[in-house]
């Protein structure tokens, strides 16, 4: 296996009993796996070969619990398999596959099924992953049931709540120290307004935040611009 992270370093991050299966997957295709600092907008990503690199590159946040790490790794390996099967030999002007289209969904379901069959995961995680075999289209960061099941195994600092638990108009603080006023819920994310500027952002409803009192100098909540930035 070609990897920027020796496999021995990945084993402690995986749920016990899943290591041989993951090792076999990573051994099929040269793939550099890198541990990344926690990112607010994604748990992992995939970059295909190109620009002088002959291997796929995967990065995964290094703060994930074992079940979230496993699921994210399978998610990214599914991108590797999709690219190899549908993109490597695609004609220059041929149709590109969608990132989480039916091709990726089929690959992800095929990778998850053996993990579910191992019987080594907690019941709630097994059930959530099992549902992705029936409806793999939901197996992304918008899958609320899967995220809730995985999130039960996070180490959560005292005093933190999910963004969806903040009352409309209530204030909260991210780990970065940035403060926001909660707006309405927009599907899987919460509209929020930054203290000081009033700029609009979107925070995932399941993100953990610290409830706070309104800042003395906080804005009245005006919407200074329709921001496309995301946090959480």
Question: pLDDT value at position 223?
Answer: 41
CA-CA-CA-CA torsion sign (3, 9, 14, 17) = positive
pLDDT tens readout for residues 121-154: 999 999 999 988 877 655 566 678 888 889 889 8
Domain boundaries, the chain: 7-151, 161-231
**Mean pLDDT to the nearest integer, 16-38:** 90
pLDDT tens readout for residues 204-231: 888 889 999 998 764 444 443 333 333 3
Which residue reads 């992953």 in tokens? 129
**In this structure, which CATH number among 1.10.45, 3.40.50, 2.30.30, 2.60.40 belongs to the domain 161-231?**
2.30.30
Residue 166: Cβ within 10 Å count: 22
**Mean pLDDT to the nearest integer, 167-195:** 90
For the chain, report the end-to-end CA distance as a whole number of angstroms.
33
Strand runs labelled E in 117-198: 161-162, 171-173, 179-186, 189-194
């Amino acid at each position: 296996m070609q990897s920027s992270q020796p496999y021995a370093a990945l084993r402690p991050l995986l749920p016990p009993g899943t290591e041989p299966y993951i090792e076999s997957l990573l051994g099929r295709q040269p793939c550099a796996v890198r541990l990344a600092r926690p990112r607010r907008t994604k748990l992992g990503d995939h970059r295909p070969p190109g620009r002088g690199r002959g291997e796929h590159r995967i990065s995964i946040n290094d703060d994930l619990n074992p079940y979230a790490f496993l699921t994210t790794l399978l998610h990214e390996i599914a991108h590797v398999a999709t690219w190899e099967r549908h993109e490597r030999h695609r004609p220059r002007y041929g149709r590109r596959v969608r990132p989480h289209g039916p091709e990726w969904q089929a690959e992800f379901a095929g990778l998850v099924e053996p993990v579910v069959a191992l019987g080594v995961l907690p019941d709630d995680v097994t059930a959530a992953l099992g549902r992705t075999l029936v409806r793999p289209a939901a197996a992304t960061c918008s899958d609320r049931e899967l995220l809730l099941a995985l999130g039960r195994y996070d180490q959560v600092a005292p005093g933190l709540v999910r963004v969806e638990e903040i009352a409309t108009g209530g204030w909260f603080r991210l780990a970065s120290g940035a403060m926001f006023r909660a707006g309405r819920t927009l599907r899987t994310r919460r509209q929020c307004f930054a203290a000081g500027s009033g700029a609009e952002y979107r925070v995932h409803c399941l993100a953990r935040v610290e409830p706070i009192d309104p800042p003395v100098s906080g804005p009245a909540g005006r919407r200074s611009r329709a921001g496309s930035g995301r946090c959480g």
